[in-house]
Chains A and B, each alone.
Chain A
Amino acid sequence: MTATAERPSTTIFKRPKSTTGIWSWITTVDHKRIGIMYGYAAFFFFLVGGVEALLLRIHLAQANSEFLTAGAYNALFTMHGTTMIFLFVMPVSAAFINYMLPLLIGARDVAFPRLNALSWWIFVFGGIFLYSTFIFGTSLAPVGSDGIGGIDGNIAPGGGPGALNFFADSPDGGWFGYQPNAGPLYSAGTAMDFWALGLQILGLASLIASVNFIVTVFNMRAKGMRLLRMPVFAWMSTVTSFLLLFSLPIIAVALFMVTFDRQFGTLFFNATGGGDPILWQHLFWLFGHPEVYILILPAMGIVSEVLPVFSKKPLFGYSAVVFAGAAIAFLGFGVWAHHMFASGVTPVAQAAFGLATMTIAIPTGIKIFNWLGTMWMGKIRLSTPMLFAIGFVAMFTIGGLSGVTHAVVPSDWQQTDTYYIVAHFHYVLFGGAIFGLFSGLYYWFPKLTGRVMSERMGKLHFWLFMIGFNLTFAPMHWLGLQGMVRRTWKYAPETGLEPWNFAVTIGAFIIALGVLVFMYNWYVSKRRGEPSGLDPWDARTIEWTIPNPTPEYNFATAPVVSRLDHFWHLKYDEDDEGRPVRKPDADKVVADLEYDGLNPSQPIHLPAPSYFPVLMALGIPIIAYGIIYHEALWGKLAIAAGAIISLSALIGWGIEPLEEPMEAHEEELDLAPAGAADVIEEGDAGGEEQSGD
C-alpha cells in the first residue's frame, strides 16, 4: 500500500497510469474515449442487427418460405428489434453525447467521469450477456396445463420445418416481450430470461448515464454559455436524458416482474393465477413511448446542427426548436396507450390517447418547418452531412405522417399488427434517426480524426441508402394495408404479396451495400483522408474552436461565450441586409485558435483513470447469470459473488482519492503550479512510478 504526502492513504490499488495500450482504454475515464468505444460497439451491433434483418428479408422474399424455421424467424425479428433499439441507436446516441456534449458546452469532461466509464462497461457487459443467449439460451415447447410441453398451436422444439434453425433457441417473444406469451409458461427455457435480464442491465447503464448528462449540462457549462445559448444538440441530449431518467425505472420494474415470474414463481402476468397481461402492456409502453423519443431526439439535434452550417444561415427559430423538443418529450409521456388501441382499453381512453397523440404533431411540425426555414434562401452546400440531414427531414416527415394516421383510432385498428406499422417506424427510425446519426458521423468525423471523409464515397453511400431504404420500406405501407401481418412466419402465395416483398428484399441488400461503402470510407479516410484543419465546414458552434483531432484536454483555456453561435460571430459580421460578411481577420482568428488550442499555457489537470468502473460493472452480468441458473448451487454462488464484486468495487471507488474527479478541472488552472505546459494526470501526483504494490 502506498501513501503520498498529499493524499489519504486509503488507496487499495495503485492508480492506473497508462495512456496507451489496452489498459488505458479499459481504465479510461475520458469522455472522448468512452464515446469512441460506445460508437464502435454500437456499430458492431448495427451490423449484427443488419444481418438479422437480411436473413428475415431473404426468408420473406418468397411466399410460404421455409428458408428459416418458424422458431428462427421469431427469434430473428425479436433480436433484430432488440439489437437495433438497445444495442445500436441508443448507444450510438450515447457515443455522440459522450464525445460531443462537453465540447458543445465548453467543458473538459462530464460531471462524473468514473460514472461515465461505469455506464459504458455496464452497457458492454450487458450486450455481451444478451447475445450470449445464442450460446446458452434455450427455447422450449410451452408448458402444458399438466406441466408437460405441447400446447396447441406452438412450435415444436427445434423450431419446426425449415432450413435455417440456428437462432431458434434465442429470445423469440418480440422486442416488446408481451406477457404471458413471453412468460414462463409459453416461453419456457432460458432465452427470454437472457432478454429480460439483458435489457435490465442495459437500462441501468442508460439510467446512470442520464444522471451524468443532466448534471453536466446544468453545472458544467462554460462562462457565458447560458442554457438558451447552448447548441441544439446539447439541448436535445438534455431532454433525452430526462426521458431516460423518468422512463427507465418503469421498464426496470416491469422487467423485474417478468424475471420474477419466470424464475421465482410470482404471478404478476400469469393469467390463470390472477395476473393481468394488460398490466405488462401499460408498464412496457409507459417506457416504450418515451423510448422512441429517446431514439429520435439526439438525431434531431444533429440535424439542427448540420442544417445551419451547410445553409450558411442560423437555425430558424432556435428557441422554438428547443421548446418544441421539450414539448415532444413532455407530451410523449402522455400517449403510451396508443400502442394499445387494439388491446381492449375503453373508448374514452382511446379517444383521449388518440387526441393526445395528435397534439405531438404540433411541436414536431414546428421543428420541421423551422428546419425548412433554415434552408430557405440559404447558401446550400450539398456535402454528405447535409445530404443526410435533408434526407432526415424528408424521410422523417413521411414517417411522421403515417404516425398521425395511427392516431386515428379506427384507422389504427386496421393498421395495427400489419406491415403498415413496420413502414411507419422504420421511416422515423431509419429514415429519421439513422440518417441523422450518419449525418453526425460525417459532420463530426474530423473532430475524432483530424481528417474529412471522402465526399465521393459519402455521396455514393447516401444515394444507396436513399434508394435502398425507400425501396425497402415504402412498399410496406401498401403491403400492410393489403393485409400482410407482422411477426408472422409465412404468407400464402394467393395473397399476392410476394412481388413487392421481393422488391423489398432487393432494397434491403442495397442498404447493405451502402453500409459497406460507409465502412470502407471510414477505414480509408481515418488513415488517408484529407486533413481537416480546425474548421473544415466553416461552422458556428464552439466545438469547432479547438484543434482536430480533439486534444486530450479539450479546451486549452476555458472558453467564454458571448452569444448563440459564438464561433460564427468570431468570423462573420452582418451587412445591412443581414447577410453574413466574413471578417477580414477571420482566418487569423481560426489560426490563432488552432495554435492556442495545441499549446496550453498552463498545466492542465485531468481526471485519473480508474479500475473501479470496469470492476463494478463486471459483477452485474455475473449476478444475472446467477439468477438464470439460480436453481443450481453455482448459480446461487454467482449471485453472491457478483454482488460482492460490485459492492467491493463501489466501496473502493468511494475510498479512491477524491482529488481526481472533475473537481480538478478547468478553473483550477490558477491554483496549479506554474511550470511546463504539460498535461499532468492526477494519479501522478506522487511522482515516480512505484514498484510492487
Chain B
Amino acid sequence: MSDHAHPTPAQYWKIAVVLAVLTAIEVGLYYIDRELGLGALNAVLLLILAVTKFIIVVGWYMHLRFESSFLNRFFTAGFVLALSLYAIVLGLLGVLVIRGGG
C-alpha cells in the first residue's frame, strides 16, 4: 500500500458531503425538469453531475488520482472502449438519435 499522498479522514468526509450535495442537486433537477420541462438541458446537466461524482469517487476514493499512470490509462481504456463500442451499437440500433427518431 502506498502510504503517501492519502487524503485524511477529514478530507474523505468533506468529499462525502460534496457527493451528497451533488446527488441532491441531481434529484432536484429531476423534479425541476418535471415541472418546467428543461428538455435536452436536463440530460446534459444530469450527465455532467453524474460524471463529476464518478470522477470524484474514482480519483479520490479509489485513489486513482495518486496512483501510477499505468493504472490510470488501463482503467480509462476500459471505460473509453465500453463507451465507444456501445455508443456505436446504440447508434446502429437507432437509439442514439435526436429525440423524436428511433
Using CB atoms and an 8 Å cutoff, list the residues of chain A in contact with chain B: 218, 246, 250, 276, 278-279, 282-283, 286, 333, 337, 345-346, 349
Contact = CB atoms under 8 A, between A and B. Distances in A.
A675 B99 CA distance: 76
B81 A282 contact: no
B100 to A, nearest CB: 18
Contact of A286 (B78, B85, B93): B85
Contact of A337 (B70, B78, B81, B92): B92
A117 B85 CA distance: 32
A286 B89 contact: yes
Given A246-B81, A286-B85, A333-B81, A349 B92 contact: yes
19 contacts: A218-B70, A246-B78, A246-B81, A250-B85, A276-B93, A278-B93, A279-B93, A282-B89, A282-B92, A282-B93, A283-B89, A286-B85, A286-B89, A333-B81, A333-B85, A337-B92, A345-B92, A346-B92, A349-B92
Contacts of A218: 70
Contacts of A250: 85
A349 B94 CA distance: 12
Contacts of B70: 218
Interface string B68-97: 001000000010010001000100110000
Contacts of B78: 246
Q: When A and B form their complex, which 4 residue pairs have the shortest distance between CB atoms, in order from nearest?
A: A282-B89, A349-B92, A246-B81, A345-B92
Interface in B50-77: 70
Nearest to A214: B74
A292 B81 CA distance: 18
Would you call the interface of chain B mostly helix, strand, loop, or mixed? helix
Secondary structure type dominating chain A contacts: helix
Contacts of B85: 250, 286, 333
Nearest to A218: B70
A477 B16 CA distance: 64
Contacts, number: 19
A227 to B, nearest CB: 12
Nearest to A278: B93
A663 to B, nearest CB: 15
B71 to A, nearest CB: 11
Given A286-B89, A345-B92, 17 more contacts: A218-B70, A246-B78, A246-B81, A250-B85, A276-B93, A278-B93, A279-B93, A282-B89, A282-B92, A282-B93, A283-B89, A286-B85, A333-B81, A333-B85, A337-B92, A346-B92, A349-B92
A689 B89 CA distance: 59
Contacts of A349: 92
Contacts of B89: 282-283, 286
Contacts of A279: 93
A337 B93 CA distance: 12
B99 to A, nearest CB: 19
A246 B70 CA distance: 17
B3 to A, nearest CB: 20
B34 to A, nearest CB: 26
B77 to A, nearest CB: 8
A276 B78 CA distance: 26
B72 to A, nearest CB: 14
A282 B70 CA distance: 31
A278 B95 CA distance: 13
Residue of B70, B78, B89 contacting most chain A CB atoms (<10 Å): B89
B12 to A, nearest CB: 26
A12 B13 CA distance: 39
A279 B70 CA distance: 34
Contacts of B93: 276, 278-279, 282
A246 B80 CA distance: 11
A279 B78 CA distance: 21
A246 B74 CA distance: 11
Nearest to A349: B92
Contacts of A333: 81, 85
A601 to B, nearest CB: 34
A60 to B, nearest CB: 35
Nearest to A352: B88
Nearest to A330: B81
A132 B85 CA distance: 35
Nearest to B77: A246
A345 B85 CA distance: 16
A278 B91 CA distance: 13
B102 to A, nearest CB: 12
Nearest to B82: A246
Contacts of B81: 246, 333
A4 to B, nearest CB: 27
A246 B82 CA distance: 9
B95 to A, nearest CB: 10
A239 B70 CA distance: 16
Nearest to A345: B92
A286 B89 CA distance: 9
A282 B93 CA distance: 9
B78 to A, nearest CB: 7
A304 B70 CA distance: 28
Contacts of A337: 92
A355 B70 CA distance: 32
A333 to B, nearest CB: 7
B59 to A, nearest CB: 22
A338 to B, nearest CB: 13
